[in-house]
Amino acid sequence: MNILNYTDEHQAFRKRLREFISTYVVPQAKHWEKDHFIPRDMWRKMGEEGFLCTNVAREYGGMGGDFIYSSIVCEEMAASMQTGLAPTLHSDVVVPYITEYGSDAQKKKYLPGCVSGEIVTAIAMTEPDAGSDLTSMRTTAVEEDGYVTISGSKTFISSGIHSDLAVVAARNPDIADPYMGMSIYLLEAGTPGFEKGKKLDKMGWNSQDTAELFFNNCRIPIENRLGDKGMGFLMLMGKLQQERLCCAMGAVYGAEMCVNGLMDYCKKTSDASDKPLSKFQAIQFALVEMATEVKIGRTFLDKLIADHMEGLDVKVETSMAKFWTTDMANRVLGKSLEIMGEFGSYEANPLVQGWRDMRVTSIFAGTNEIMKYIVSKLMRL
């Protein structure tokens, strides 16, 4: 019995998405890696086919689908072996701030474009001197006479170059409490004083644009604030459950792809005696151990997806899943390259890119050490 109930509609969606990826994504993925960028129109293609923001209500241009559609997009994109297109970040991490906290006017203004791919979003939280500790952020937002003036900078912002709309967390200096003195604002590209820095050169995720963002007295209408003033920290905490679940999804799906590829390699590759690698007991045991870890990860993940869809509070469990699945995926990718021997060091080996791309997953969206700290506090240790 499957934990998740995949309907015929889900399976038809998966088939259509898989065909799209094989036609438009896979043939270009290596070029995107080499260029360290993807064409902007790929977002529009994704939107045209209905693969972005699948949870957005029909009245705002979406399909009103459940979270299983999100998991299918994440899974099929993981199988494509590229990270330049990051629909899960856009659709399931950033846009939900608008769908849950936005006014009707904000939803009507931005959501149709987010669904169509005309608007690519980014979330701007991390700062040069304030990573996981959001209360230390220095970017300020001064509200006065119906306008907000934002000043400061953010760094390591995924989709920072492509982004047309940034969800920006900033400190309200007139409120002393660091937890109640933070608000979230919608900042459009092209706003005077809003500048995008150069694309950051990273280890892995080469085709995905990550950049610094600078705000030099950006003046926007007060209507661009999401929700009430001072509620930013609570909003961020409220959306972290889904963000960490998305991280776990990417880790498990990536690890599954790796193990399947490795088993196929070991069955087809022989040693000097023409004996397939899969016939050596040491390799058999290693494959079984990795497959077992991946299976455990998938079962845990599917249960969390089901609980999340039911609206249950699984903050502890998703934090656990984020650190365990990303650590597991890194172990699996690393062990796979070792088993492959010399071929495990060649760029021609797709798992080399997979290992490079997987490495950062234990760092972003809150480091795994932060996840353990959060869990310890929620467990009242």
pLDDT of residue 262: 95
Beta bridge mates, 149: 142, 219
Region for residue 274 given its phi and psi (left: phi exceeds 0; alpha: psi -120 to 50; beta: otherwise): left
Rg of the chain on CA atoms, in Å: 21
Per-residue pLDDT of the chain (381 residues; tens, 9 = 90+): 689 999 999 999 999 999 999 999 999 988 898 888 889 999 999 999 999 999 999 999 999 999 999 999 999 999 888 888 889 999 999 999 999 999 999 999 999 999 999 999 999 998 887 666 677 789 999 999 999 999 999 999 999 999 999 999 999 999 988 888 999 999 999 999 999 998 888 888 888 889 999 999 999 999 999 999 999 999 988 898 999 999 999 999 999 999 999 999 999 988 778 899 999 999 999 999 999 999 999 999 999 999 999 999 999 999 999 999 999 999 999 999 999 988 888 888 889 999 999 999 998 888 999 999 999 998 998
How would you classify the pairing of strands 165-171 and 121-124? parallel
Following DSSP, what letter does each residue of 283-342 receive, concatenated?
HHHHHHHHHHHHHHHHHHHHHHHHHHHTT---HHHHHHHHHHHHHHHHHHHHHHHHHHGG
* Residue whose C-alpha is closest to residue 144's, from 219, 233, 194, 215: 219
Distance in angstroms (rounded) separating the CA atoms of residues 86 and 303: 24
- Partnered with residue 213 across adjacent β-strands are 154, 196
33, 76, 212, 243: which one is catalytic?
Answer: 243
Q: Is the dihedral of CA 232, 238, 240, 243 positive or negative?
A: negative
What pLDDT score was predicted for residue 323? 96
Place of tokens 């151990």: 289
Q: Which domains does the chain show, CATH number per domain? A: 8-119 (1.10.540.10), 122-228 (2.40.110.10), 234-378 (1.20.140.10)
What pLDDT does 364 receive?
A: 86
Q: How far apart are CA 225 and CA 166, in angstroms?
A: 12
Please report the pLDDT score of residue 307 as a whole number. 96
* Alpha-carbon span 356 to 72, nearest angstrom: 23
**CA distances (Å), origin 110, targets 39, 98, 157, 332:** 22, 8, 20, 40
pLDDT at 198: 85
195 included as an active-site residue: no
Q: Are 63 and 48 in contact (CB under 8 A)?
A: no
Q: Per-residue DSSP letters for 7-43?
A: -HHHHHHHHHHHHHIIIIIHHHHHHHHHHT---THHH
Structure tokens at 63: 């399909």
- CB 168 within 8 Å of CB 155: no
